[in-house]
Structures are given as structure tokens and as C-alpha cells.
Amino acid sequence: MKKLFVIVFLLVAMVSCKYGLYETGDSELSYLRADFVEASTNGVGAFTSAVTDDGVSLTLSPALYVDWKPKARAVYRAMLYYDKVENGVTKPISLQSVLLLKPKTKDEEKEWHTDPLGLESIWISKNKRYANLSLIIKKGSNTSLSSAQKIEVLKEAVTKHEKGKAYHFLLTHYQAGQPEYYSVKGYVSIPIYNYHSGDSLYITVNTYKGKVVKSFLL
């Protein structure tokens, strides 16, 4: 299981997935956008390109260096904040790593926890490569991001239906006895690019208001 702090929870709300930060004006931030992306690094670990969930390819200029030590010539799931786009080129402002939760089977972990958490929404990316979740995590400090909390995705079952297969996922959460004084918003993604058109996804989350099940047809 992965520690929660590697999710890199965003301390500010997502600027926008569809529109600029401001609808009018021409200031430095007038064209600031935010999108979920697959971002690629060059030979020295700097990010030089990205593809948004809408399928838009972006060249990042200048190349963006981040402090979370990405590998060279690798692709990462991330949230990209960037300036206006001209001829496919944009100035990157910031890139936040988004935790990729690859579903595991019951045999891959010794124990699973379903401590409650906050759920804002679940949606499938436009390119149908990811299921995205907007979560609210409670913790004991309003400053430290490090935590013993853990989040994973359990593949509970796979069944067949007339259009394809149905995948049943459970979002697991281990609170680790941490106090719940403060709430922090963050995003996680489940890769679904190996599934097929006609397959179904059922994602279960144990929230503070009870169990929530969301279903999607790919």
C-alpha cells in the first residue's frame, strides 16, 4: 500500500478543467488553465510535453523541472497548470503529481481497510483512459502533508455480461488512527486504458455518509 502523502494533495482547488481562470482581461493569469494530463520527461527528467484528457498535445516551453524527482524519459499522471496555448506550445506554471491507483487483487495485500473519507465526485476522462476521483481526506495537522494513511483500489470481482465484462472496484482507506481535525482535497486516478468498449465499472467508496457505488459503461 502507498502512503497518502505521495498523492500530493492539492491545497488549492483545481483552477479549471475546461475554461480559463478569468473570462475577461489580459493579465499574466488571464489564460491560466488546469488539466489532468499524461506528462513526459526528457533525458534529464524535465517535463517537455503533455497530453490532456481531452486529447490535446502540448509542448512545454521552457521545460519544467519539479522537486518530486521524476525519472528521465518517463510518463506521469499529473495536474498541469499552464498559460495560453499558441500553435500547440504553452508555458507551464506548475505540475502536481496525481497518484495512480492500479487495482490490486485480495492476494496482493495482507489486509484491507475501509475507513471513511469524503467523496466529491467520480468521472471517466474524455479519452476513457482514467477513472478520476475527487476526495476529501481528514487529518490531524493543517500544515504537514506526510501521513501514515493509505489508499488503494481493490479489484473485488470481474463478471461477464452481454456487452463485455464488469469490473467491481473498492476504494480502500486506512486512517491509521490519525485525528480528523482538518480536511484536504485531492485527486487520484485509476488507469482503465486496458479495458474495452462495452465493459462496465463499478466503483465503491465508503464515505462519512455511507457507502457510495458509481457505475460507468465504457
What are the distances in angstroms from CA 32 to CA 13, 26, 113? 13, 11, 39
φ/ψ bin of 73: left (φ > 0), alpha (ψ from -120 to 50), beta (otherwise) = left
Predicted confidence at residue 29, as pLDDT, reads 56
Q: What is the domain-level CATH number for residue 132?
A: 2.60.40.2370
Residues 142 and 160 in one domain: yes
Residue 1 lies in a domain: no
Q: Which of 70, 82, 12, 80 is nearest to 45 (CA)?
A: 70
φ/ψ bin of 110: left (φ > 0), alpha (ψ from -120 to 50), beta (otherwise) = alpha
Predicted confidence at residue 31, as pLDDT, reads 78
**pLDDT per residue over 11-44, tens digit each?**
333 333 333 333 444 555 567 999 999 999 999 9
Q: Choose the final residue of a domain: 82, 98, 114.
A: 98
Q: What is the domain-level CATH number for residue 66?
A: 2.40.50.500
Residues 213 and 115 in one domain: yes
Predicted confidence at residue 114, as pLDDT, reads 95
Q: Which of 94, 87, 186 is nearest to 134 (CA)?
A: 186
Nine cell digits for residue 139: 487529518
Residue 70 lies in a domain: yes
* Number of separate domains in the chain: 2
Residues 89 and 117 in one domain: no
Q: Choose the final residue of a domain: 53, 69, 98.
A: 98
Predicted confidence at residue 110, as pLDDT, reads 82
Residues 105 and 212 in one domain: yes
**pLDDT per residue over 50-84, tens digit each?**
999 999 999 999 999 999 999 999 999 999 999 99
Q: What is the DSSP string of 45-103?
A: S-EEEEEETT--EEEEEEEE--TT-PPTT-EEEEEEEEEEEETTEEEEEEEEE-EE---
Report whether pLDDT(7) > 60.
Answer: no
Please give the Cα distance from 148 to 8 (Å, whole number): 14
Residue 60 lies in a domain: yes
Distance of alpha carbon 5 from its chain centroid, rounded?
13
Query: In which domain, by residue range, is 67 found?
Result: 33-98
**pLDDT per residue over 73-113, tens digit each?**
999 999 999 999 999 999 999 999 999 999 999 999 888 99
